[in-house]
A and B are shown apart, each in its own frame.
Chain A
Amino acid sequence: MKSIIYHIAGIIILLLSNTTIVLAQTDSTNNNLDELLNEVDKSNTEKEYTSATFKSTRLIVGQSIENVGVGVLDFRISHRFNSIDKGIKDLFGLDGATIRLGLDYGLTKRVTIGIGRSTYDKEIDGYVKYKVLQQTTDNSMPFTLSYVGNIMLQTMNVNIPIGYDYRFSNRLCYSNQLLLARKFSKSFSLQLMPTHIHYNLVDKTSEKNDLIALGIGNRLKLSNRVSLNAEYYYILDNLKLQGTRNALSLGFDIETGGHVFQLYFTNATGMTDRAFIGKTTGQWNKNGIRFGFNISRVFTVKKPKGFENSRNKIY
């Protein structure tokens, strides 16, 4: 008898608890779809990388940590006028210019390769940029680190005194660069660029073939489409090549659809690492300033996955 009572009590308790569970369930259906979705999303989240630390693959003259997209070809015209110091006679430098034409291509998400040809010293250059570490939005990786390896070949005519041997290797220079950047906020990014440049041939025996420079640069977004950039390369005095100065550039990035325009002022003449970091002679305080601009236009060479039959079309 007792056991039957226990059983009945047990059933009642369980049924009651069932009902409460059922009630709780119905109640929650109305309110907790949100929570349900959040749980689904939680299991879904991958690490998200910070994007658009800078607008362009070049901070101003030098490299930024930005890569070209995978399968994208970037045609880049870098243009620098003469120094403004000759005044109106030279239309503030606009009468003459040096140009670098370049092609950059995104091999993978992390690797960008590029080639270029500059009028200054008739130079051909090629580089590889590799993104080693990438900043994440959750700050588990607080910065982005890239390596840039550069090789530069000057093809200008050289007056060789009789009896002297001028080897091909004399025309070559190399540079290694680490780019360490952090996007602090939507509008402010900072980058450090320790750089090593090796000159196979220097002008004087007193000069060293290797040069170490420390670059610092930043960008400050003024609006969604315009940013103010600064870039400075510092070289220790005893490592400087004779008569050279640190390169300082200030400019704006202006972005319109598929183009990025970079307008800037600098005291540098060259475009490649060898020339602008190590061999800048202009002075900011003595009208050695030059006006320059970069134009970049991107072309999608290889369609990304999933876009084989896309409706994308330009008429």
Chain B
Amino acid sequence: MKVLNVFLLVLSTHMCMAQKYVGKNGSISFFSETPVENIEAKSTETSSAFDAKTGDLIVQIPIKSFRFEKSLMQEHFNENYMESDKFPKATLKGNIFEAEKIDYKKDASYKVVARGKLTIHGVTKDITVPGTLKVSNGKVSIDAKFNVRCADYDIKIPKLVMVKIAEEIQVTVSSTLSPI
């Protein structure tokens, strides 16, 4: 009898835990396209947490983890544009619409929309991000592509380099989350 109780206890706790997913080392890249220069930067230090029951999602990126092809560009990105000592992280806190309807035991891919707040460079804005949620082997993969306007987040670009940096930056996020 007691064994059964303990089993019930473990089971109930386990079922609750399985509704949350975390992932680290997710990849993110951004791309700036202008007639003068195309610039791409990448990071593989995205961490994310997702609650399947509520659809709540948090994605976080240390700004300093972005790697550029040109090391000087990377330094300027941190020092001048993103001020990453002052604002070390970019965060997306959102909710995936109707995430609770997804069957997380079945392998499948879903088109989803996340709504929430994106914080970059200390500025928070509402954002809607369309993406893909994929369930496979009990893991959840999230892929999304969206645009960010530098001016919206108070990222100042001097006139001299304006021709080299796009006003809108394409962001691509891809992360795999495991149940905890």
Contact = CB atoms under 8 A, between A and B. Distances in A.
B106 interface: no
B67 A306 contact: yes
Nearest to A297: B72
Interface residues of A, number: 48
A33 B180 CA distance: 12
A41 B39 contact: no
Interface string B86-100: 100000000000000
Contacts of A37: 22, 47-49, 58, 60
Interface string A121-140: 00000000000000000000
Contact of B69 (A10, A257, A310): A310
Contacts of A69: 70-72, 74
Interface in B77-92: 78-80, 83, 85-86
**Chain A at the B interface: mostly helix, strand, loop or mixed?**
mixed
Nearest to A30: B54
Given A25-B13, A51-B75, A257-B161, A33 B56 contact: yes
Contacts of B70: 69, 72, 258, 298, 300
A298 B72 contact: yes
B125 interface: no
A225 B71 contact: no
A26 B17 CA distance: 9
Contacts of B161: 256-257
Contacts of A48: 64
A205 interface: no
B164 A257 contact: yes
Contacts of B53: 26, 29
Contacts of B158: 225, 256
Given A30-B56, A315-B37, A36 B49 contact: yes
Nearest to B31: A311
B71 A21 contact: no
Contacts of A34: 49, 58
B26 to A, nearest CB: 11
Nearest to A68: B71
29 contacts: A10-B1, A14-B5, A14-B6, A17-B9, A22-B16, A29-B54, A29-B56, A34-B49, A37-B58, A40-B47, A41-B60, A44-B47, A52-B78, A70-B71, A72-B72, A106-B71, A255-B80, A257-B161, A258-B70, A298-B72, A300-B71, A303-B69, A304-B71, A307-B42, A307-B69, A311-B31, A312-B38, A313-B38, A314-B36
